[in-house]
Amino acid sequence: MNNTRKILFLTGTRADYGKIKSLMLEVENSNEFELYIFVTGMHMFSSYGETYREVITDGYKNLHLYVNQKIGDSLDIILSKTIAGLSDYAKEINPDLIVVHGDRVEALAAASVGSLNNILVGHIEGGEMSGTIDDLIRHSVTKLSHIHFVSNDLAKKRLMQMGEIENSVKVIGSPDIDIMNSKDLPEISDVKKHYEIFFDEYSIFMFHPVTTELDKLHIEIIEIIDSLIKSDKNYIVIYPNNDPGSEIIMRELDRLKNNKKFRLYPSMRFESFITLLKNSRFIIGNSSAGIREAPHLGIFCINIGSRQKNRALSSMVVNIKPKESDIINAICSLDDKERFFDKNFGDGNSAKSFIENLRDDKFWETEKQKKFQELNFQL
């Protein structure tokens, strides 16, 4: 009889795959567990580089590819389609644990499938804050999850404030730090050659729609793109995620396609992105990569707008409004700022900590009937 426990991960974007890849590999290489991966979301779009191919290339034994949306689907429709597909797959393989990451609608679907089918759910990087609809999804996933793998003690305190039992919250750091600290990252010369980047000096631009502020997006992205052009610097541009409003951003990015100061990419392998970020002058936009990865690597971030407003911010992050004068001034101001490395999200041992938790018999005794931990207060 095979007593190997089955661990099912869901990945829906290039970003979450890069963040949880080290955990997947640790499970795949273990003798006690059997890894399964449900690949869906942005991975399946040709317009975003068909990044499911990257997951396949990494050589996992058990992959399931699932198209959960078509262009133009609203988030609620994507949620329902993902639940339907993942529910069928979970009933086929009967996992012991479903692992989800972050705040995407696919994570909410997976947590729903697990909790409603009496399957343990582990949530990576709960307890974070941003300020957009991502917060609603992330906190909903928390309440549907049984075990929480968080980045730091502040995130743990937030989850306990939400009524989560202290023993269910495991501080393992941010898993992407494992890859950032890896000695196996590609050399910058190899990355530039592969992606045909000929800049000696460059910065990175990534800007995603804020789904609760779509009425302002068109004006804001025009002003941002105008500012980048006027800065007369070199930029590597990576397409936005596929949230509602992305088509507005994409139309403005079309203006840059014939500009020699810009190189545009639908997607990029996470390790290659980290090498490029590590060697960049700064990152600008509203991506979480500017809040989490950049400060860890000692790279400045110019954070535009409200998307990351409640994140734990480093002094390596400059927060500005989407106004041309603010953007140009922020770019110029970086010449006089002193760099340092922010190490607030772990030491690069998340995967080892994760697998050690799974090897603990008490982990598998976690009650599927959740309890609410009252704080000490009087009604």
**Mean pLDDT of residues grouped by 10 in the chain (379 residues)?**
86 91 96 97 90 94 96 92 98 98 95 98 92 86 98 93 95 91 93 96 96 92 97 96 91 96 94 96 94 90 86 81 95 84 76 96 94 74
Rounded Cα distance, 155 and 76, in Å? 27
Q: Half-sphere exposure (CA, 13 Å, Cβ side) for 230?
A: 15
In this prediction, residue 195 carries a pLDDT of 96
DSSP assignment letter at 125:
S
Q: Is the dihedral of CA 107, 249, 19, 303 positive or negative?
A: negative
The architecture that CATH gives domain 5-181+347-365 is 3-Layer(aba) Sandwich (3.40)
Angle formed at CA 20 by CA 281 and CA 184, multiple of 5 degrees: 55
Cα–Cα distance list, 43 to 14, 208, 275, 348 (Å): 7, 17, 21, 26
Q: Tell me the Ramachandran region of residue 94: left when phi exceeds 0, alpha when psi lies from -120 to 50, beta otherwise.
A: left
The residue ranges of every structural domain in the chain are 5-181+347-365, 188-336
Q: What share of the chain is helix, strand, coil (3-state, %, to 5)?
A: 45, 15, 40
Are 140 and 112 a contacting pair, CB within 8 Å?
A: no
In this prediction, residue 338 carries a pLDDT of 79
Average pLDDT, the chain: 92
Are 66 and 85 a contacting pair, CB within 8 Å?
A: yes
In this prediction, residue 379 carries a pLDDT of 46
Q: Which of 22, 8, 15, 68 is nearest to 44 (CA)?
A: 68
Rounded Cα distance, 38 and 113, in Å? 13
Q: Residue with structure tokens 């068909």? A: 50
Rounded Cα distance, 337 and 169, in Å? 37
Cα–Cα distance list, 221 to 143, 207, 212, 225, 352 (Å): 35, 9, 15, 6, 41
Question: Right CATH number for 188-336 from 3.60.15.10, 3.30.470.10, 3.40.50.2000, 3.40.367.20?
Answer: 3.40.50.2000
Rounded Cα distance, 72 and 199, in Å? 35
Rounded Cα distance, 157 and 293, in Å? 22
Are 263 and 237 a contacting pair, CB within 8 Å?
A: yes
Rounded Cα distance, 196 and 189, in Å? 10
Are 186 and 219 a contacting pair, CB within 8 Å?
A: no
